[in-house]
Chains A and B, each alone.
Chain A
């Protein structure tokens, strides 16, 4: 057999990727990326505040405004931030030199972030790098002033960066349960951003069977002033394709897939072990097409990673213009082009640009009859949801999702989805992607500083992360609802899924939603449980 080495030149070496954290919020995101473990990529922290800067875990740190602010913050003044970064421009230029991709993480609204980000972006562009900007917008309660500063900076960044991804802090509340602490909310938001960064890096850096690259990413994130839609899910075992997709759609940034309805282009990346079958991919894409409009441009990529073993992961990246988010109900559905263009980029070891011939062969997707059945599960409920009589009652059926209110909620079987939590949806996925042994433990141990610009209150991350390894088995993932009800007894971490699995016989309650209270499965006879202890 003739060995045909797949050309590694295809991919961009990780050494040419640089992740820059700018300001207090940026430093927090950077820390999260670092602690989650991103192989190879260089991290650079920039800040005016020397205290925050020295606390950063980034390998490289540059102090801004050494003479101007003398190690203090900018006090929320973008002018000051702007001047401070100009002092250090040469240092930054030297640090970024020769990098192909530069990710800039920044929290807009404060002084350093808003003031310095445009300059850093410009410098990176001048050095010939592809600039992807991850920006968080301030909370509404932070006031108009900060909001305006953020908007101004965002407008500049939209022009200066190649791709701009914004996260709205106001949406942070949806990432976590209402009763969880504020540190958890910030941690979840950081985690979300770090997940997105990693997914993007992964996509760009690793060559796949069906490759997706920077150009595809740019297409997916093309719109300026957009909000990033991002979701990733992982699953194993029987029915893993469906489960992985469901987990991915659970991402709060996707609103259970409802937000994808309006996406113009969606980047889908699949990664599986060596037993990844074409059928599974078909099945998954078929289900996904229920959420993605027919006219949308689907950029599809797949990779086989032996370290995944029997797992399958899916990553969805898309963007939605901000004005669309608000005008979601009045969205006109009659844009032409009824045919979905599914364009797998066949990047088979071509020494040239892999994407050039990619778009040449659009692969029509076969739609076998029997695929339909499982898909029903994820189909959105066609029923318009508020029922007239429900309204006439005195209690109001609270309209919970602001933007997507009239969009039919996708209902998954009879059992309602567990509350989407960024942490759970995304964590197992990266663990498997990188298969780094220390990741899981890192995750649990590090303290999580809050991503506000000026404040210095370090929040300790509470205990071990409730890692729902149970995501991989449908049964325990559905137990989340019960867990939440009883004050979240999920502290058991990874033992959680174990517990519900070997809980004992359940008789007629076999297969029903388990009723977990204080880590005990109430469906198992008390008599048997007591005896065991």
Chain B
């Protein structure tokens, strides 16, 4: 790729809508030109439930992003999430005809077709087919086995699918801006593009993006994507828990969570009482720190526990690099300690690599997914550009 190209990533999150404009330079580095961010209203658990409101918010983010970057935005890479989205692995094998022993492109194609034929529920659609690896007569090959000699070709795919109407409605919402959708990306896959480098993937890593409404995860091992998914629990749930248990209004609960909450379970940090006072100095509410921290910790502990249970057997042991946390809720004090307790692995907060421009704020884990979309766009683009023919159906960002 010789010329620079501008990509836009849009994440419609539960707590904020974020549009990132990035310029991919010829040397492959990414420069962030601008970010448009808007508070999100009308999204619950990662899914839109109030269209007019979300439309207004996306519009706002769009205007801000265009202002900041001085780019006219025509199309975006959209990240989607929601509890209905699932990832499964599927293997397809194709046995070569008896009179042939060299693997031809059509044989690989056939194996891929078989691998893609996963029984998904009627109302679901595919979001991603990601090739994990190929195999020839049971021996694994990372790259395409075309030209090799063998009897059977295997193609192992990671397939992400979700409910058609919900996904289409998200696209529709963006299209009404009007913006084109270049591609749909399942949020944790986008996040992983920024969070994980090649080495981390080789050694095995888990990305957890815990945002406002959902907790998305993507597990990589041996350089391949192994599992993805979404748990419909996020920061909103913590606020809601505090509201329900203490009886404080949402706004107060949110303030308490952000300012005072701690998930580490360290009893030294759970001493005394938190007082909330309004702007005139009157005390409005008092909550025992112990109670507050218990509420937060139990919620997060449960969520991570659920996530852990949904990973394939023995997957935790295969994580060599560690667990990468991102998303707004990962800013919670003591969350790293809690995650360490649950997974017994090194814990990282991802830092976006190789970005230049106005990016002091992009160290913020809240932006990881949107940045990941740019990276994803870059990978898809660079992959598509040289060989438009056969491989255009293939997104080898698992490499």
Contact = CB atoms under 8 A, between A and B. Distances in A.
Contact of B184 (A179, A393, A508): A393
Contacts of B125: 395, 397-398, 400
Contact of A515 (B83, B123, B244): B83
A419 B165 contact: no
B237 A484 contact: no
- For B86, B175, B232, B241, the residue with the greatest tally of chain A CB atoms inside 10 Å of its CB is B232
A416 B231 contact: no
B251 to A, nearest CB: 12
A90 B378 CA distance: 79
A523 interface: yes
Interface string B76-87: 000000011010
A405 B351 CA distance: 46
B102 interface: no
Interface string B99-138: 0000000000000000000011111111111000000000
B294 interface: yes
Given A394-B183, A507-B240, A416 B166 contact: yes
Contacts of A484: 121
A401 B121 CA distance: 11
Interface in A484-533: 484-485, 505-509, 512-513, 515, 517-518, 522-528, 530
Contacts of B31: none
Contacts of B86: 485
B295 A515 contact: no
B244 A505 contact: yes
B243 A397 contact: no
A481 B120 CA distance: 13
Given A416-B166, A505-B244, A396 B126 contact: yes
B237 A389 contact: no
A409 B125 CA distance: 14
A527 B395 contact: no
B42 to A, nearest CB: 12
B171 A482 contact: no
Given A481-B84, A515-B233, A389 B180 contact: yes
Nearest to B183: A393
B193 to A, nearest CB: 16
B264 to A, nearest CB: 16
Contacts of A409: 165
Interface in B256-274: none
Contact of A400 (B122, B129, B295, B302): B122
Contacts of A526: 241, 295, 298-299, 301-302
B16 interface: no
A393 B44 CA distance: 26
B245 A394 contact: no
A336 interface: no
14 contacts: A174-B122, A389-B171, A390-B171, A397-B164, A398-B120, A398-B124, A400-B124, A411-B165, A485-B83, A505-B244, A515-B45, A515-B232, A524-B244, A526-B301
Interface of B: 44-45, 49, 83-84, 86, 119-129, 163-166, 168-169, 171-172, 175, 180-184, 231-233, 236-237, 240-241, 243-245, 250, 294-295, 298-299, 301-302, 306, 392-393, 395
Given A527-B245, A530-B298, 4 more contacts: A389-B175, A395-B128, A419-B123, A527-B241
Interface of A: 174, 177-179, 385, 387, 389-390, 393-398, 400-401, 409, 411, 414, 416-417, 419-420, 481-482, 484-485, 505-509, 512-513, 515, 517-518, 522-528, 530
